[in-house]
Amino acid sequence: MLVRKLLPYFVQGIAIGLVIGLIFYFFAMPNATRQQHAVVEIKESTNATVVPTDGPASYANAVEIAAPSVVNINTTKLIGGRNHPLYNDPIFRRFFGDQQRGPSQRRDNSLGSGVIISEQGYILTNNHVISGADEIQVALTDGRQAEAKVVGTDPETDVAVLKVSIENLPSITFGQSDVLRVGDVVLAIGNPFGVGQTVTQGIVSATERSHLGISTYENFIQTDAAINPGNSGGALINAAGELVGINTAIYSRSGGSQGVGFAIPANTVKMVMKQILEYGRAIRGWLGIEIQTITPALAESFGLLEARGIIIAGVMPQGPADHAGIKTGDIILQMNGRPIIDGTDALNQIAQTAPGSEVHLSGIRQGKPFSITAHTSSRPLPENHRTEP
């Protein structure tokens, strides 16, 4: 009986003890509680729609606008061995006749693409598409064909300008490639494998890609839109059907598209094209120097705070840099007040300077700060430059 009478008091005491313990745990030990149960702030959308609704369900309008201006380019190279010197000997020819003149020539055909940029018949393509070609045939989507002449080429950006004599040509509209953002939708139009015009869709994966070894001056748009063999020289367009690039190359171990393609930005192509039409070639500034990018190891050895800039590895005798007093071993950190990132950046800055312009260089010479002014001249033509009237 006594136990039954005391039992309620025991239960009440236990309950009060638990309450006091909980109060002590949450209020007397806040730091321990917070460490074990940290509050993580996240951003959570309140929109129930998973897929954005502002994108078009079809890009047919963009393709309809741009596709007629994309052409197929068929090039022919005549390949054959040289005649043996004996075939030029009259006595030898007397016995064997002219029919034994040596190996006959064969024709090597290849396919590419191009873009009509003017109703006057001017067509943009890659230099590597038409390089070394003896004949160039252009085929339009409406079935018309014509022989094309080379107006001029720029191997250092892999751009070529052709011209055909056809009336009522559909020309493409240039877009602003410098406003492209990673994630923008783009379409690649071309004629891969000679199967006819095709369209592939993707997004911009990156902009201002360089150090690829594709050309001397690199500023590529990277895209996962498939750029297969034969697409070279074709159009990369935006969702409005405007030209934002010229398809140039793919990165592939198998020869097929693996989602890494490169296109020359439309703004770069337009600048080179205007110079070719006006001067017959691209005009660039030149200093006559060999340069090497400052690596982390070089920066440490020279006591530089960061790995950027260039070191002069060589100076061409009697060139603009030589006349200005630039010396081998000079470290150049700024050009016209703008920091130099690496060798590619320095090369592009010099090239964008008009011949005859002043270039102000500053950096370090023999451990001491120095500055110097040089006057650029016109960059010499590369060996594989080609131009026709």
Residue 78, both tokens? 């005549």
The residue ranges of every structural domain in the chain are: 68-163, 177-279, 285-378
Is 134 among the residues known to form the active site? no
Tokens matching residue 266:
């439309």
The 10s digit of each residue's pLDDT in 238-265 is 999 999 999 987 765 555 556 688 899 9
Q: Which CATH superfamily is domain 68-163 in?
A: Trypsin-like serine proteases (2.40.10.10)
Q: Express each pLDDT in 271-306 by its tens digit.
A: 899 889 888 888 888 898 898 888 898 888 888 888
Considering the domain 177-279, what is its CATH architecture? Beta Barrel (2.40)
The percent of residues above 90 in pLDDT, for the chain, comes to: 29
Q: Tell me the pLDDT of the chain averaged across its residues.
A: 79
Per-residue pLDDT band at 388 (split at 50, 70, 90): very low
The mean pLDDT value for 119-142 works out to: 91
Instruction: Compute the average pLDDT of residues 26-47.
Output: 50
- Please tell me which residue, 22 or 274, carries the higher pLDDT value: 274
Catalytically annotated residue among 113, 128, 330, 342: 128
Amino acid, res. 294: I
Phi-psi domain of 184 (left: phi exceeds 0; alpha: psi -120 through 50; beta: other):
beta
Rounded distance between C-alpha atoms, residue 251 and residue 20, angstroms: 69
Among 31-35, 283-287, 309-313, 323-327, the range scoring the smallest mean pLDDT is 31-35
Instruction: Give the pLDDT mean for 213-220.
Output: 73
Query: What CATH number has the domain spanning 285-378?
Result: 2.30.42.10
The confidence band for 37, taking pLDDT boundaries of 50, 70 and 90, is very low
Per-residue pLDDT, averaged over 25-35, amounts to 51
pLDDT of residue 35: 47
State the pLDDT confidence band at 106, using cuts at 50, 70 and 90.
low
Q: Is the pLDDT of residue 46 over 80?
A: no
Residue range 137-153: average pLDDT?
A: 92
293 with 313: CB under 8 angstroms?
no
- Of 154, 158, 342, 345, which residue is the catalytic one? 158
Q: Which of 247, 250, 262, 258 is nearest to 207 (CA)?
A: 262
Same CATH fold, 285-378 and 177-279?
no
Q: Is pLDDT larger for residue 104 or for residue 320?
A: 320
* Confidence label for 110 from pLDDT (cuts 50, 70 and 90): confident
Percent of the chain with pLDDT over 70: 71
pLDDT number for residue 107: 66
Q: Which of 321, 342, 339, 317 is nearest to 330 (CA)?
A: 321
232 is an active site residue: yes
Highest mean predicted confidence (pLDDT) among 101-105, 122-126, 195-199, 349-353: 122-126
Q: What per-residue confidence (pLDDT) applies to 63?
A: 92
Q: What is the pLDDT of residue 189?
A: 93
**What is the rounded average pLDDT of the residues 344-353?**
84
User: What pLDDT, on a 0 to 100 scale, did the predictor assign at position 8?
Assistant: 62
pLDDT tier for residue 97 given thresholds of 50, 70 and 90? low
Catalytic residue among 110, 177, 215, 232: 232
Whether 376 contacts 320, CB under 8 Å: yes
Mean per-residue pLDDT for 100-129? Answer: 80
Q: What is the pLDDT of residue 150?
A: 94
pLDDT of residue 51: 44
Work out the pLDDT band at 382, boundaries 50, 70, 90: low
Q: Is pTM beyond 0.75 here? A: no
46 or 123, greater pLDDT = 123
